[in-house]
Structure 1
Amino acid sequence: MGKLTKKNKAFMLMILGIILLIGGIAVSISLGAKNIDINTILRSILSDGNDINTKIIRDVRVPRVLAAALVGGFLAVSGAIMQGITRNPIAEPSVMGITQGATFMIAVALVLQRINPNLVLGSFAKMIFAFLGASISGLFVYFISSRAGRKVDPVKLALAGTAMGTLLISLAMGTSMYFNLSQELSFWIAGGLTSAKWQGVNLLLIVGSVGLIGAIIMAPKITILSLGEEVAIGLGQRTNLVRFISLIIVILLTGASVSVAGNVVFVGLIVPQIIRGIVGADYKYIIPLSMLFGSVLLVYSDILARTINPPYETPIGSLTALLGVPIFIYLVRKES
């Protein structure tokens, strides 16, 4: 039998990912502090009802698992895009300071609520704050790592992103301690899906649809750019414009994710690296498969977070960090 083509590999991965995702969603919905039988779960999903079991399934477990799938997919796509436009295998939103910028602005939102008790900031308002923080940190890191506005230096990008991320998380923690908000902010720093509700899921769907459509449209240009600056220019690509539009897409996807799940790290590092190793460097495959397997990773991570130390929940960001740090170290050593 001949070798599988990239298209066949991508198709097989897609089927595997869909099976894993459906299985993970089913397991996640069935798990919880209250034991609910499968018939009740199916009835709660497929028909109307006002009993407590139906409300638990519909208003707690279903939005939580959907949020996990969307956040995981968005972060993985963001990481894939960043690795493509910078040609840097360790680029991803948390490494580049974007998630930390969004987290810092969430801390600012909490402080504003503490200062003015009459001010109530809902999911949409917090998402705006997260977008603002992601935009400021992402654009700042991008511009300080570029050389005379012509070309982004991958090494400078990683260094600037790490420094900016550390600074912003430190500022967020210091601010929360000063205003006695450590407990409220701990969720956003550690990452988790405890507070995921339908409003957050709806916002993720709206913003994410825009970001994903943009990512799919930009996929061919990102593929060319990932081959090298000179190659891309030779093929007529406006490289700075491609990078800038791609960065806006990353900010949209990352800002939405942080506003719902907090500072979940390394998802954008792990998934695109694995996908690229299997299907190659064509982003028309990498982006949809990263979305799918990012969803799979975070859905199963959330299941593990809820079951590893019952009745308490382990921060989901800690679990993704445990997976991501060894891969990060391996990639750094490989590139050095």
Structure 2
Amino acid sequence: MELGIRSNRLPAAIFAIAPAAAVLTVVLSIIYGAADISAAEVWQAVFAFDQGNINHQIIIHSRLPRACGALLIGACLAVSGAVMQGITRNDLASPSLLGVSDGSVFAVTFCMIYFPQISGGSLVLVSMIGSLLGALLVFGLARLIPGAESPVTLAILGTLIGMFLNGVSDAAAMYYHIPQRISFWYNARLNQIDPTLLLLCLPFALAGLVLVLMQAKSVSALSLGEEISSGLGQRVRLVKGLAMISVALLTGISVALAGKIAFIGLIIPHIAKKLGGADYRMAIPLSGVLGGLFLAVCDLISRLINHPFETPVGVVTAMFGVPFFLYLIRRKGGGRRG
């Protein structure tokens, strides 16, 4: 049995215009902010950088990393959500709902308490480990509770575990007097992305995305059910293990760079599957493209809602995510897909 990719011109058109859309989004993201900057000055900053020009400094060291970081983080979270939905056959699965992002923040918090001078690279590693532990905790408990693997119940369990991890982290931060230091990871702040850390994370994020793409066919088979997947010659446990490692890698990088951002991994995979079909060889790369653009646009909107003041980007993603989440609950109910 061979899984085919739906013949559809729309995904091809999206991939074709994505580079231009990304460039346009980056340019707009650089231009608009607390202080507007002209397009001509953006051009000069990129191709004729003047160290003494304050606007050039803002463009190169703040707004450009912010825009590129939004594209990368959005892609990582959307791809993570697509993989999680595929391997769990759960349309409500996403890093923010099933404890993956919360585990990352939990690990970062305790790392900042006991190892405050940790390097950026080590912090990213800790964030990845925390993501994996958060996922293992949620799915481990789901196996012990009858009926907990249904979509809504698993989402509730993930939310409860996330609240528990966040509560412990908050209590520890208050006790050790570091709430200001860790507030970054609880409230997504793309404007505080560290350009050096972004460059450090880039090859790991690309490696994670490539690893996911290599597993896309296996995820498609697994999304049909474990029995069908085994019948197609897939090693189910190996596929799930590699998939969760990939999710932990991509989510850990995202949280380490900009903190916890919700709903991207929930919304975008559904849109990608609607546009390109249920085959994850198409859904995964399409999720990455749409996720990057979605977060970058949300970040731009966050600066325009109450200009010149900034609205947290998490508020903007929630404006789209909460209604979508309620729609999925209404449509899917408590039943498991398939």
The answer, yes or no, to whether TM exceeds 0.5 is yes
**Aligned counterpart, 1:26:** 27
Cα separation, 2, equivalents of 1:122 and 1:64: 21
Output the TM-score relative to the length of structure 2. Answer: 0.90
1:101 alignment partner, one of 100, 103, 120: 103
Cα distance, 1:232 vs structure 2: 0.8
**Which segments of 5 or more consecutive residues in structure 2 lack a partner in the other structure?**
1-5, 334-338
CA deviations over 1:33-87 (Å, ceiling 9, x no partner): 3343222211211234312222211111111111111000000000000000011
Cα distance, 1:301 vs structure 2: 1.0
Question: Does the CA-based 8 Å contact 1:92-1:266 persist in structure 2?
Answer: yes
Question: Does the CA-based 8 Å contact 2:45-2:56 persist in structure 1?
Answer: yes
Cα separation, 1, equivalents of 2:301 and 2:118: 31
Alignment map for 1:205-220 (pairs within 5 Å)? 205-220=202-217
**Aligned counterpart, 1:68:** 70
The DSSP-based 3-state class of the residue aligned with 2:37 is coil
Provide the aligned length of Structure 1 versus Structure 2: 324
The DSSP-based 3-state class of the residue aligned with 1:36 is coil
Q: 1:147 to 1:185 in 2, by over 3 A?
A: closer
- Asked whether 1:153 is paired with 2:180, we answer no
Question: Does the CA-based 8 Å contact 1:271-1:293 persist in structure 2?
Answer: yes
- Asked whether 1:236 is paired with 2:238, we answer no
The DSSP-based 3-state class of the residue aligned with 2:278 is coil
- Asked whether 1:320 is paired with 2:317, we answer yes
Cα distance, 1:154 vs structure 2: 4.3
- Asked whether 1:56 is paired with 2:69, we answer no
**Aligned counterpart, 1:272:** 269
Cα separation, 1, equivalents of 2:295 and 2:280: 21
Cα separation, 2, equivalents of 1:126 and 1:322: 30
Alignment map for 1:96-175 (pairs within 5 Å)? 96-112=98-114, 119-146=116-143, 153-155=149-151, 157-175=154-172
Alignment map for 1:252-263 (pairs within 5 Å)? 252-263=249-260
Cα separation, 1, equivalents of 2:209 and 2:238: 18
Letter in structure 1 aligned against 2:97: V
Cα separation, 1, equivalents of 2:288 and 2:97: 19
Cα distance, 1:147 vs structure 2: 7.2
Cα separation, 2, equivalents of 1:36 and 1:329: 39
Q: 1:6 to 1:18 in 2, by over 3 A?
A: farther
**Aligned counterpart, 2:13:** 12
**Aligned counterpart, 1:116:** none
Cα distance, 1:11 vs structure 2: 0.2
Cα distance, 1:128 vs structure 2: 2.1
Cα separation, 2, equivalents of 1:20 and 1:146: 43
The DSSP-based 3-state class of the residue aligned with 1:211 is helix
4+ aligned runs moved over 6 Å, structure 1: none
Output the TM-score relative to the length of structure 1. Answer: 0.90
The DSSP-based 3-state class of the residue aligned with 1:260 is helix
Letter in structure 1 aligned against 2:319: L
- Asked whether 1:189 is paired with 2:190, we answer no
Cα separation, 1, equivalents of 2:292 and 2:329: 25
Letter in structure 1 aligned against 2:48: S
Cα distance, 1:16 vs structure 2: 4.2
Question: Does the CA-based 8 Å contact 2:33-2:308 persist in structure 1?
Answer: no
CA RMSD of aligned residues (A): 2.0
**Aligned counterpart, 2:48:** 47
The DSSP-based 3-state class of the residue aligned with 2:293 is helix
Question: Does the CA-based 8 Å contact 2:10-2:276 persist in structure 1?
Answer: yes
Identity of aligned residues (%): 35
**Aligned counterpart, 2:336:** none
